[in-house]
Amino acid sequence: MVNMSTGVILSIPMIDMQKFPDEEEYKKLREACDEWGCFRVVNHSLPKSLMEEMKKVATCLHDRPREIKKRNADVAKGSGYTYLPINPLYENMGFHDFGSSLDIDTFCSQLDASPHDKEIMKAYGKAIQELAVDIARKINECVVGLAMQF
């Protein structure tokens, strides 16, 4: 991304999970939250093989006929199957809570997902939930650490 007023090329901050508890990485995380409101996470705990399997599951589910995908009910406002005929490249399916086995079971039932696909989704959901908790803990440590400095 280019800052139009200065012409400087900007890039989303990258947070390396393996560098914690390095003080510099906490500083980068704090700055990313304060200045950008987002960051990219690298060297996290999600196994590459699980991410690759999840991509295959997502592709398989998106390849289903539209009539099956329409079963993906809107469980929370903004979730569920979305297809915009004016933009055939945009299609979305979803559910409320990836960390909830019940939500995953319901989603898989709606789309006739295989037991293998459901197993992958549950493993991925658990891994994502653990990573999210770890990131939230580190952000909290940044805030507490920042508060302790004043």
pLDDT tens column, 105-125: 988 999 999 999 999 999 999
pLDDT for position 12 = 92
pLDDT at 149 over 70: no
Query: Looking up tokens 């009539």, which residue turns up?
Result: 67
pLDDT for position 63 = 93
Residue-wise pLDDT for 32-88, tens only, equals 999 999 999 999 999 999 999 999 999 999 999 999 998 887 666 767 888 888 877
Task: Please name which of 146, 115, 113, 131 lies closest in space to residue 26, comparing C-alpha atoms.
Answer: 146
CA atoms of 30 and 77, how far apart (whole Å): 31
pLDDT for position 83 = 80
pLDDT at 7 over 70: no
Q: What pTM does this model have? A: 0.80
pLDDT at 1 over 90: no
